[in-house]
Amino acid sequence: MNLLSRSFNGQLLKHESLAKYTSWRVGGEAESLYIPVDKQDLQLFLTSLADHEPVLWLGLGSNVLIRDGGIKGTVINTKGKIRQMHLLDDVRVYVECGVPCAHVARFCSEHGLSGAEFLAGIPGTMGGALKMNAGAFGAETWDLVESVEMMSVGGMIKSRRANEFEVSYRSVKEVDNACFLSAILKLSADIDLAGQEKIKKLLAQRAATQPTNLPTCGSVFKNPEHDFAARLIEASGLKSYAIGGAVVSEKHANFIVNTGTATALDIEQLINYVKSEVSRQQGVELQTEVCIIGDKLA
């Protein structure tokens, strides 16, 4: 059911299946799903919620596994929304959370700026990239961040400098349950305008080595220090191993593919099996990069 509130302008959906909002194409229902028009509308909506209402932020849903039992409370989906982006000066760019990372890479290169090309390899939005310090091709999101704007679940907006956060590999601390609304990125002038060619090469590399045309979440596991999760999984003989409709990609072992019939439970069980086998055979405890959330079916 589609409910439109008089006090805000976005879409408020009740008991909405989240499968179509995640790149794995699995997941149960959200009790409520809100799709804001812009950040002012989001702020207004959040102030209307009960004080203790659970809130989950969701962008492209590319780094999340939502269990089949769904999500209690309210899910905020910014896909296609809150996506303003513009130059502030010669080397700084303002980017809102709903902008896909690939669009940021292209925008920067088109304006003669370098340093953001790697974002073309991240299958998510800027908000998600900021939350987990997403990276690709040896570079990370927070290498570019000068400052951010955040919104609490109560609708309070606060600007913070990058040095106020504890940032490490695929991790950003001191976030609590706030949403990254926007960021100011500082880049370098690309005098020879080689950025677009670099993006093309990076995307070609990604297409050649990853199952980019299939339902996945991106990389499932963090790379251990001085090693690669994909190498460890492949060395354990787990390529093409399947549980239900979920299978370890033959193309890249750190990807799990939904072949079309997978449930979130299939994927979670496969994740746990891969972890246990790598631990048993390689003596390495893999850590998940993907966030596993929600309730299991009773």
* Calpha distance 283→276 (Å, rounded): 10
More confident residue, 293 or 210: 293
- In angstroms, the Cα distances linking 13 to 1, 35, 52, 151, 179 are 6, 8, 19, 21, 20
- Residue 180's pLDDT is 93
Measured CA distances, 263 to 12, 15, 25, 65, 269 (Å): 26, 18, 9, 10, 10
pLDDT at 191: 57
- The answer to whether 257 and 211 are in contact (CB under 8 A) is yes
Task: Provide the mean pLDDT of the chain.
Answer: 91
The pLDDT score that the predictor gives to residue 8 is: 82
Look up residue 185 and give its two tokens: 């990125």
- Positive or negative, the Cα torsion across 50, 172, 166, 83? negative
The Cα–Cα gap between 138 and 202 comes to 11
| 125 residue type, one letter | T
Which residues does the annotation mark as catalytic?
170, 219, 289
Cα distances from 290 to residues 96, 196, 279, in angstroms, run: 22, 29, 18
- Token pair for 52: 């203790």
Task: State the Cα–Cα distance between residues 114 and 15, nearest whole angstrom.
Answer: 43
Q: In the predicted model, is pLDDT for residue 126 greater than 90?
A: yes
- Is the pLDDT at 2 greater than 70, yes or no? no
Residue ranges and CATH numbers for the domains of the chain are 2-77 (3.30.43.10), 85-199 (3.30.465.10), 211-293 (3.90.78.10)
pLDDT bucket at 210, cuts 50 / 70 / 90: confident
Both tokens assigned to 102: 């690939």
Query: Model pTM?
Result: 0.87
Q: In this predicted model, what pLDDT tens digit does every residue of 41-79 receive, in sequence order? A: 999 999 989 888 999 999 889 899 999 999 999 999 998
Neighbours of 29 (CB within 10 A): 21
The answer for residues whose C-beta is within 8 angstroms of residue 44's C-beta and 6 or more apart is 7, 8, 155
